[in-house]
Amino acid sequence: MTVRSDLYPPLEPNHSGFLPLDDLHTMYWEESGNPDGVPVLFLHGGPGSGASPKHRQFFDPAFYRIVIFDQRGAGRSRPLGELRDNTTPLLIDDIERLREMLHVKQWLVFGGSWGSTLALAYSQTHPDRCLGLVLRGIFMCRPQEVDWFMYGMRQFFPEVWQKFADHLPQDQHSDLLTHYHAKINNPDPAIHEPAARAWGEYEGSCLSLLPDASTVASFASDPVALGLGRIEAHYFVNRIFLPDNSLLDNIDRIRHLPCVIVQGRYDVVCPPVTAWELHQAWPESELIMVDAAGHAAWEPGIQRELVAACERMKQQLA
């Protein structure tokens, strides 16, 4: 049987709104597709990048009830870039609050990059709420992965890294994360806005196998860069507010769930070794290595395999 592998046509939400989380944060959410279908939860990357309308198109709208939200401080959630009361455990609580509001019993969890981190953390906390996982560009925010992001990507994008590093004085290059974190959180927009743009341009420039000017421009734009740079630095500095190596240590909690891992062979942002290590800890998972691809979800091969994975999941979930 041929499995569809191209994106579904654009569609509009059936419902959307803003869910107050506490006295500070309000979360944007939406649902589209079949109101009576199998629920699927989309978790965006970053942390801090937000979701887009195109993300709805990974899923068959006749089969899936597609739930998308912007995490605290990201995208359309407010306040943008807010770090107070912004931790992984609170994001997990937010997902549960959204699930209860929408009267969802269980859902398929789909996440890429930081979305894969949050998908693992959420599913390990609430395995009974998950039907399975579709993961991309695996990131577990371990110290070696953060160090790779801050310094290792220089091996493949030396000119991009140099521009990123040179936004700071030379004597701060030995600890880019600490000094970027301070600069992005400086109250003066004349200081934090250029720093956030430099961070976003750095990440956006390394996402794709081939140069993609539109991606770089999007990541360096003020609405994306502030949430992305500020929240990523916040989570990196705080080791994602979880015990070291907890996502691998707790994999037995979810090994009974079906899981497809889609990984770009030439992913410079989240190198394939991390996906391989997850697969080794979770041998029941299916690892798909896409040879002609980098990190971005919109790489043709990555996009194709993500749609196909959701199509195959339909057979298990129907």
The string of pLDDT tens digits covering residues 140-199 is 999 999 999 999 999 999 999 999 999 999 999 999 999 999 999 999 999 999 999 999
What is the extent of the structural domain holding 30? 15-142+242-317
Residue 273 lies in a domain: yes
Residues 95, 170, single domain; the answer is no
Residues 138, 150, single domain; the answer is no
Can you tell me the mean pLDDT for 49-62?
Answer: 97
Residues 111, 181, single domain; the answer is no
- Which of 222, 240, 258 lies at the terminal end of a domain, its last residue? 240
Residue 8 lies in a domain: no
The pLDDT value recorded for residue 134 is: 98
Taking phi first (over 0 means left), then psi (-120 to 50 degrees means alpha), and beta for anything else, what does residue 42 get?
beta
Residues 271, 185, single domain; the answer is no
Q: What is the pTM of this model?
A: 0.97
Residues 46, 135, single domain; the answer is yes
> ∠ CA 133-265-145 to the nearest 5 degrees?
70
Residue 112 lies in a domain: yes
- Which of 195, 223, 240 lies at the terminal end of a domain, its last residue? 240
> What tokens does 68 get?
């998308």
Q: What is the pLDDT of residues 2-26, one digit of tens each?
A: 788 899 999 999 999 999 999 999 9
Split into its structural domains, the chain has a count of 2
- Which of 240, 273, 292 lies at the terminal end of a domain, its last residue? 240
Residue 4 lies in a domain: no
Q: Find the Cα–Cα–Cα–Cα dihedral 307, 311, 313, 314, rounded to 10°.
A: 140
Q: Give the CATH number, domain containing residue 25.
A: 3.40.50.1820
Residues 236, 246, single domain; the answer is no
200 — pLDDT class (breaks 50, 70, 90): very high
Residues 155, 236, single domain; the answer is yes
Residue 188 lies in a domain: yes
Question: Percent of the chain having pLDDT more than 70?
Answer: 100
Residue 5 lies in a domain: no
The residues annotated with a catalytic role in the active site are 113, 267, 295
For the chain, what is the mean pLDDT? 97
Residue 3 lies in a domain: no
Residue 23 lies in a domain: yes
The pLDDT value recorded for residue 2 is: 75
The pLDDT value recorded for residue 3 is: 84
Residues 118, 19, single domain; the answer is yes
* Parallel, antiparallel or unpaired: strands 107-112 and 130-136: parallel
Residues 198, 254, single domain; the answer is no
The crossing angle, in degrees rounded to 10, of helices 213-220 and 189-205 is: 150
Residues 23, 130, single domain; the answer is yes
